[in-house]
Amino acid sequence: MLEVKGLDKHFGAIHVTRNVSMKLERGERRVILGPNGAGKTTFFNQIVGEVAPDKGQIWLDGEEVTQLAVPDRALKGLSRSYQKNTLFDILTVGENLGIAASIHTHAARSPLRDPLRDRAVREIVAEVAHQVHLEPYLDAPVTDVSYGVRRQLEVGVALATRPKVILMDEPTSGIGPEMAHSFHRMLNELPRDLTLLIIEHDMDLAFDVADSITVLNYGEVVFDGTPEAARGSDLLKEIYLGSWEDA
């Protein structure tokens, strides 16, 4: 479904992505772990096209997309959420979902019709609101809901374009371990054919959702395997207790 081949990127002297390859099957849930500054977000930015890699290829559903612009990759079924909330703050929760859904249905292109009254758009909004538990907040302005609800909306907006693959950049950042576990239970209820690549900070939290785990350190893949193998890995313990500590 998503394949990355030999991705490489420098920011000046920083070698932020080092020959990274990765393959996700349809419906796979893979978690990327790694300390602060390991290059996780930059890796996502290259997959969606916000940052151009120096080398390497990105394939989406059997098609190479390395040269495509950000919106064109999105229209092919790639979606992402951000580490820092990237929402439409002047709109309501429901309008945030609606604007994303209307891009998917192309209602967003109409100079005449209001997409938020479009039936297909409303159906997607209702469905996504159910999936990420936003039903009670649909009419509330984004600025009136709690940070936790905004994190749900951040993922909801990414879901509302009905993508095949979603990259979630630390969806649980800043909400505390207990709520993070419920957040992951929510992710586990998403349709099973949806492919998820999730950046997580905390190894324990990764086990909630991961079919497979990739660990990045200094831009390099230092581990790639099952959650069980990750649990037993001495290398991971070392990173975990070393630089990870201050993460």
Partner 1 sequence: MFRLTPVRSGALGLLAALGLYAAFSAEYFGLEILTEIAILSMLVIALDMVAGFGGMVSLCHGALLGIGAYAYAGLTTMTGADPFLALLGAVVLTGIAGFLVGAVCAGSQGIYFIMVTLAFGQMAYAFFFESAAFGGDDGIAGVPRLDLSGLGVDLGDSRSFVLFCMILLALVTLFAAHILRSGLGRTLVGLKTNEQRMRALGVRSWRAKAYTFGISGMIAGLAGVLAAQHTMYISPGLLNWTVSGEALVVVILGGLGTLVGPLVGATAFVLIKHEVSALTPYWHLVTGVILIAVVMSGANGIFGFFEAQLERLRNRSKPAVEGKLKQGSVHDA
Q: Is 107 a binder of partner 1 (CB under 8 A)? A: yes
Q: Which of 121, 86, 89 minimizes the C-alpha distance to 103?
A: 121
Q: Is 46 a binder of Mg ion (CB under 5 A)? A: no
Distance CA 90, CA 71 (A): 22
Map the footprint of partner 1 across residues 137-166, applying CB under 8 A: 137, 140, 144-146, 148-149, 151-152, 157, 161
111 binds, among partner 1, Mg ion, ligand ATP, none (CB under 5 to 8 A by kind): partner 1
Q: What is the amino acid identity at position 177?
A: P
Distance CA 115, CA 100 (A): 10
Q: Is 51 a binder of partner 1 (CB under 8 A)? A: no
Q: Other C-beta atoms within 10 Å of 222: how many?
A: 17
Binding site for ligand ATP (CB under 6 A): 11, 14, 16, 34, 36-42, 83
Beta bridge partners of 33: 215
Distance CA 219, CA 28 (A): 22
Q: Which of 41, 45, 79, 81 binds Mg ion (CB under 5 A)?
A: 41
Chain centre to alpha carbon of residue 27: 14
Residues near partner 1 (CB under 8 A) are 48, 50, 69-72, 74-75, 79-80, 82, 86-91, 99-100, 102-104, 107-116, 133-137, 140, 144-146, 148-149, 151-152, 157, 161, 175, 178-179, 182-183, 186
